[in-house]
Structure 1
Amino acid sequence: MAEQPKLLGTLPSPFVHRVIWALKLKAIPYEFIIEEDLTNKSPLLLKYNPVHKKVLVFLHGDKPVCESMIIVEYIDEVWPQNPLLPKDPYERAQARFWVKFAEDKGTTVFRMFSSKGEELEKTKKETLEMLQTVEEHGIGEKKFFGGESIGIADIAFGSVVYGLEIIEEAIGEGAVFEDEGRAEMSERDIANPFYFWFSQVCRLGRIVKFFSYNESWREFPHADEFDLEQAESRDHKRWMERQNSKLSEKARKEDYARIHTLVDSAYKRDPRILRRKEEGKAEKQRKKEAKFLAKKVQEEGKRKGETVEEETGRQASKMREEFTEEDNRHSTSVEVRRKLQEVSEFQTERVWIVLFGEVEDELRLRTGFVG
């Protein structure tokens, strides 16, 4: 059986994440050797990286490979399953272009750790401009940089942007995701390609599995609770394995939920999404007020109509009394019936004209328009 490759590095580190993601995507078992004290370099590190004397080092047998993206390309060539670089020469050149862009510009994010005052504002601006460039020219409407499957450019950028939440916590709330400047840079609304891409990378199962080995984003890999070497019997060892598996699964679910929380937080904090929600609330309120006003006008018109009808009824009754008296005096029944008919027609017409006129005046006063 071939010896597992070894990865010599430290955590947390975006450069280590790049290599681990590549190994996870290709389902390659490996041994992770932590360089705990970088001020006191181990003999293994000095032996396999005598030039720079620093992590990251990938050991394939006795062959050391250094520099994170060089290691990723080496892994992609040695283990061809789930390729990270496209076959087409032009697409491969484009992927390498964005890797170079990530190498040159992506580390701008981490300068925010050591920046203050005006320098911090400048660094934030550069970071936002970098993200805008990636969003508009690198990702566009695609799921990943290269299309439908994750590739080397996604690994180069993903390891950088994954740390944005930690940086926000370190330098102050809303350092990147909540910055209004970024909202002004892009006209896209809720369908934000950068956040969509970020969520796709973070939700990719084979990458998410990596985080089950971490108690938090700032701690070293999770160690098993029970040491199998201390088992007193085979049954005891199996029990330990089951317990370790349960604890590992619990940690994996917690970290998986943390990743989703990060992505959801990015969406919820986007000022454009907040602005869209506020506009929706305002539109609902306007419709509610318009409906209330129309109902009020209708009720007032109805009340005024009832008042006019009562007044007209009184006038009609008075006219009937007068005509009745006249009928008694002159006994001209035919003429009286004709006049009573006129009174009835007058009552109906008067109610309609006055009611419509009142409502028409009210609508003209409130809306300036009568349909």
Structure 2
Amino acid sequence: MKEDFLHYVWQHQYFDKTALLTEDGQPITVLRPGHRNPDAGPDFLNARLQLGEVEWNGAVEIHIRASDWHRHQHQTDAKYDQVVLHVVYAADAPVQRTNGSAIPALALQPRIAPELLAAYERLSSQPPEAALPCAPLLAQVPQLTRTMMLDRALLERVEQKADRISALHGHTGQDWEATAWHALAAAFGFQKNTDPMSRLARALPLSLVRRHRHDATQLAALVFGQAGFLEDAPTDEYSGQLRQEFAFLRHKYSLHGTALALHDWNFLRLRPANFPSVRLVQLLALLHARPTLFDALVTAKDVRALELFFAVPLPAYWQSHTRPGKPGKTGPLGKSSIHLLITNLVVPLRVAYARSVGSPEQVEAAVTLLEQLPPEHNHLTEIYEAAGFSNQSAADSQGLLALQRGYCAPRRCLACGIGARLLRQ
């Protein structure tokens, strides 16, 4: 048993409250169990309890064994002096505050229904390699419960991505166009190169991008020069021109020491179409073709409009080179890559902006874009599909991935609506 099970039992009051008594015989009436404390200190704050004839407002601390209080050194920590009730599974020792005063204890072991404990143990006993711990029990869960949990997980995932965009917005001085530039660059990393792409955006201010975006050669010199791809690039006429342009621009804008190095980029186990140099080619083509980023990304009416925004042709040189001076076939962004950009960039950007202006309708419209995109299929989504979950759109896929990473993998079954339903049954 883990403490989170007792937290769940106390929070929802899933125990027999008949003739409820502390270990020293005081009657207990739970007027308010309190709310979970996400920070250091007691587990539940602002609880309201009547112990005997006295009503208390304070904290509740929960342990499997009462003696855990001493193992965790709470008797020397003043944060726990506010505890008015010690809720435990087994009361094996009395406990005190820092001033030596005794804390009443409530033992739940005889009050938890055996069926509830058995259901919890069935969930928690699944082997670590089981991606979906409740799979053997899912037939007992109504489809509505699954759908509601999937929607909840999806919204949590979108909100987490939007939080990162909001943080970027703060770092850029509340400049939405600069925020869109930083978010766009990071998204073009496509996971493996997200970090170096983010560093590139910091090394290449939007003001320089705007100033030189009309000149394709100067823009390419800035992008590949700051990315570190010009230092040891094989020389052909065009790459020599880029190197010369970058030397001039680096001196003009005092960019010395800000560029990345070639070894900062990840090429290992990537298909050539996903090489960071290829993504840089596609990024600079987009920057050259699109005068604004933020406005276009947040006002596009639908997925089709966004597909057209990202689908820009490459100049002739880049169609036959994967990086400066290195021949190879390079193509524009594929539709699947564009869909990933809509999922990981456009939707959270729109949600972050909608929250900043207080527009719930725009939040809903942004999430609706995911319902217009095809689903993602990988080894994780296949596990859930085999268990009966729907995966008909990117909204479903994102919900499934959020469910797996946020609940199933860390075994947060008690925080999951599906796990809670199984326990209630």
Range class of TM-score, shorter chain:
under 0.3
TM value normalised by structure 1: 0.27
More helix by share: 1
Structure of larger gyration radius: 1
TM value normalised by structure 2: 0.24
